[in-house]
Each structure stands twice: as structure tokens, then as C-alpha cells.
Amino acid sequence: MTLYGQFCPIAKATEVLGERWTVLILRELLMGTTRFSDFQRALSKISPTLLAKRLKSLEGEGLIIRKKITGGHGHEYRLTPAGRDLKPVIESLAVWGMRWARGRMEEDELDVDLLMWDIRRRLDLAHLPDGETVLCFIFKDFKTRKSWWFVVNDGEVDICNEDPNKEVDLYLTTDLRTLVEIWEGDRPLKPALRSEEILAVGKRNLIRSMADWFPLGEFSHVRPAGD
């Protein structure tokens, strides 16, 4: 017995995609996330048990495959052609969500783990200097896990919230809501820097070029309906 008991393709697709977290797991796969630990960092509010269950379900539906990591331990998850074919569907959901489902973000929606992970994968490394660059984001409204370091080197970005004991090139101090609103395109970056809502301390070339290497969220260009 199927969930909806209808031959309609929308009903059939919803039976595959309609469970909680499934679409967000697909979002991560489409953005390049492949390892279980990385899914956990991007989706910090899902339990490991439920994440494993959803990944197994997607594998059973033929949307992903699970492969042993070559020369290493553990497994990674990769999209099949059927999974990759969902890219325009997920992108359309993102555009619709930005345009019609937004409104003011609630406090429990301000997910620092997602923000930091999103920044990590969106940093434009071509606009950062050669060699190692260390960035430190400090959230003044946090008591714990308030500092996050990005270590950029050789085209790779490592992120941690424990001091890596490296010389920091740029400190950026703000509150989480301000940075999320800027990341989502609700507020402009440069006025926040000028007013010190984002207090930037460090190398001037990094401050001057921040709009280039800090390119905002992928769908920040989509404005809410009525704006």
C-alpha cells in the first residue's frame, strides 16, 4: 500500500521526498557534502540515528549510492543520475522559499552551524591571498562556541571552533542575527562594516576586499515578494 494511493507523479515523488530532513539532505548532497560527519555539521539538529535512516532510505530509492572511501576509513554518499536530476527541483524550492516563505527569522532558526558551514563552502578563494589565510568570526551574543576559525590554504578551507593556534589575519566580531541577515541578502555588507555592526580588525586588504571573498548565500539575490 502506497502512502497516498494515487498514480499522480506528484504523489509518487512526495512519497520519496516528503519525509522530514530528506530534502535538506538532498540539498547538502547537491552542494557537495558526501561524508556522514559533514552532514552532521550542516544539519546539526538531526540525530545521527535519523540521519543514517534517511540516507539508507535515499539509497533504497536509488537516489544515492554509498561507497567506501578510497584509501581511507568510512564511507561517502554520492548522487545517482536520478538524484542529480533533482537539482532544479531543489533550486526552485529555494527560490520559492526566499520569495514567499520568509518573514522575520525566529531565534531558533538562526543556526550558527549551518551559517559557518555555508560560509566555508562559499568563500571565494580566488580573492584571498596566496598561502595561508586565517579568519576568525566572533559572535558577541554567544557564551560558548562563540569563536570560529577558517584556515584557508592550498585551495582548502578547514573550519573549527577551537583555537588552531595560528596567527589570525582578520577578526570579524558581530552578532549572529546580523551576519545571517547579511548572508541572506536582507542587509548590505558594506554599511555594516562602516557602522561596526561587523567589527573588522586585521589586514586592511582583507577588509577592503571582503565583498569579493565573502559572496553571500547562493540565493541571497532572490528578494521576498513585495520588496
Q: What is the pLDDT of residues 70-100, one digit of tens each?
A: 877 889 999 999 999 999 999 999 999 999 9
Kindly report the backbone phi and psi dihedral angles of residue 172, in degrees, each rounded to the nearest multiple of 5, phi listed first.
-125, 110
Query: How many angstroms separate the CA atoms of 115 and 103, rounded?
Result: 18
User: Looking at the chain, how many residues does it have?
Assistant: 227
pTM over 0.85: yes
Task: Please indicate, yes or no, whether residues 156 and 79 belong to a single structural domain of this protein.
Answer: no
Describe the crossing of helices 176-183 and 112-122 by its angle, rounded to 10 degrees.
40
| The pLDDT of residue 1 is above 60 | no
* Domain edge (last residue) among 83, 100, 117: 100
Lowest average pLDDT, out of 3-12, 145-154, 213-222, goes to: 3-12
* Domain edge (last residue) among 100, 126, 146: 100
* Domain edge (last residue) among 84, 100, 116: 100
The number of C-alpha atoms within 13 Å of 83 and in the hemisphere containing its C-beta is: 26
CATH number at residue 19: 1.10.10.10
DSSP E strands, 8-145: 64-68, 75-79, 133-139
Task: Please indicate, yes or no, whether residues 92 and 26 belong to a single structural domain of this protein.
Answer: yes
Number of domains in the chain: 2
| The pLDDT of residue 123 is above 90 | yes
Task: Please indicate, yes or no, whether residues 93 and 187 belong to a single structural domain of this protein.
Answer: no
Q: Write out the residue range of the structural domain in which residue 151 sits.
A: 107-213
Position 70 scores a pLDDT of 83
Task: Please indicate, yes or no, whether residues 92 and 24 belong to a single structural domain of this protein.
Answer: yes
Task: Please indicate, yes or no, whether residues 93 and 119 belong to a single structural domain of this protein.
Answer: no
